[in-house]
Amino acid sequence: MKHNKNMLFQFGILIIGVYLMGVGTSLSLSSTLSGDAVAFLWDACSTKTGLTVEMINTIFTILLLTIVVKFDITKLGIGTLMCPIIQNFGIWTTNLMLSTISITSGIMDIAIGLIGISILSVGCGIFAYVNLGISAYLGTGKIISEKLNINYGLVIVITDGLCFIFAAILSQSIAIGPLIATCISGPLIDLTMRSMPVFSKYRKGKNYENNISM
């Protein structure tokens, strides 16, 4: 019974973390900063194809999950399956809220972008801390790191860089948001992890750093 309660508690925290990732994605994309590199690519693909950001997110997730399933299915968990659904819901609800707000100030626009990137990072930290299954993007990075014997952090830098390049080509523009996200996401994720000691009993013998990025 106690184990079931612990699992339910972890699942609840997972939902909060992933929902915050969706909120952060929507806020950052609504500003001229354009969010992190991955969100920047989603937005560029959405503009180019006419599909919604939620649909682009789902398509990318399915493609990357195919890679994870083929090479190392053990990296998957309930968090992997729930992440795109809950994140898309967070994006959708935040988009509805933003549709009622008129952003007329440049300062307000930048503030919303920075808040979005920050919320996205905090959500990522919570998601990684609970460790109920790695996301498709992070899982693909882990597989590349292990197969090619390359540092995981370097792999994420490279994949984020490729996302940024492809997004810049598709959108024919350069956004400062992905650069800002690279500078502040890591420290915010680390701070989030260190501020959640209540979960330490669920993390015995595990190194969460291998599961973090954005």
CA distance 186 to 200: 20
pLDDT in tens, 87-110: 889 999 999 998 888 777 778 888
pLDDT in tens, 121-139: 888 878 877 768 777 877 7
Whether the CB-CB separation of 92 and 54 falls below 8 Å is answered with yes
CA distance 211 to 135: 9
Whether the CB-CB separation of 113 and 79 falls below 8 Å is answered with no
Assigned token pair, 121: 């990072």
Distinct helix (H) and strand (E) counts, the chain:
8, 0
* Residue 33 CA neighbour count, 13 Å, CB half: 27
Q: How confident is the model at residue 214 (pLDDT cuts 50, 70, 90)?
A: very low
